[in-house]
Structure 1
Amino acid sequence: MTGETLWIIDDDMVSQFAIKYKIGQSYPGYKVITFYTVQEALTCLRECSKSKLEIPHKVILDLGLPVLTGWHFLEELEKIHGCICPFDIYIVSAFSNSKDRQRAKYHSLVKGYFEKPLDKIAVDKIFM
């Protein structure tokens, strides 16, 4: 696991810090990169793809982002998915919504759905 990268896409600095802290406690070998917007993450992903730089191994994605939501990220990712290696995407949300949970459950790119704040059990599931 050493040297692998995880991206957190979440506009809440406190959530980013909490997730990063919990990952650092149990999985210190992971490099964690944070983004506040979907656009930042997509731009970085496209650059990584073009430059043959390392893309993330895992992505923790908040759904409730301003301007472009987590769903927009997934839609854009489906368009460029053939150009990059697949990675695991885990949705996190502060607002448990059965519609979003169902949609995530059947989305081909989503590996799991967790409520905020993430606890150690959720973090361990992401890294299993």
Structure 2
Amino acid sequence: MRPVVLIIDDDLVSQYSTRYVVSQCAPDALIYVSDSAEEALIQLSQLQSARKALPDIIFLDLIMPGMGGWEFIKRFQKVPGLNKETRIYVLSAFTSVKDRDTAKNNSVIAGFFDKPITRNIVKSIFTSRTP
């Protein structure tokens, strides 16, 4: 089954590097990119309305202008009908112990990684996918 990935990041270099690594590890992946958490919620709503495949995996930046990653997660969890099997991986250039602890204690977050994400990490994410 073709994986569907959503990258949410306001930094173009981070978007590009994450997209590149994902496409190297899963060449058949359908990859969506959003510049902001607000845009991502709209995009998810549009996919849902159009009955298109929702993301299996979301790579989420925490620090963005406007709505940050933590607020995105809160809102994502409240949207009825969204794929609750979606795994969210936090990617952050600014790592804090508090953020790592919050992520570790949040059942929606499947992992927390420093940017840029590596090919080995993405390979392990895709090989651990449940069909």
Aligned to 1:93: 92
What secondary structure sits across from 2:94 in the alignment?
Answer: coil
Identity %: 34
Deviations 1:40-91 (A, max 9, x none): 11011122223322111110000011110000110101111x4122211100
TM-score (norm 1): 0.92
Q: CA RMSD of the aligned region, Å?
A: 1.2
What secondary structure sits across from 1:84 in the alignment?
Answer: coil
What is the Cα deviation at residue 28 of structure 1?
Answer: 0.4
The gaps in structure 2 that reach 5 residues or longer are none
Aligned to 1:102: 101
- Answer 1 or 2: which has greater helix percent: 1
Aligned to 1:64: 63
Cα distance in 2 for partners of 1:8, 1:126 equals 14
Cα distance in 1 for partners of 2:119, 2:45 equals 31
Cα distance in 2 for partners of 1:105, 1:125 equals 18
For this pair of structures, how many residues does the alignment match? 126
Aligned to 2:32: 33
Q: Could you list the runs of 4 or more consecutive aligned residues of structure 1 that deviate by over 4 angstroms after TM superposition?
A: none
TM-score (norm 2): 0.90
The gaps in structure 1 that reach 5 residues or longer are none
Aligned to 2:9: 10
8 A Cα contact 1:89 1:112, kept in partner: yes
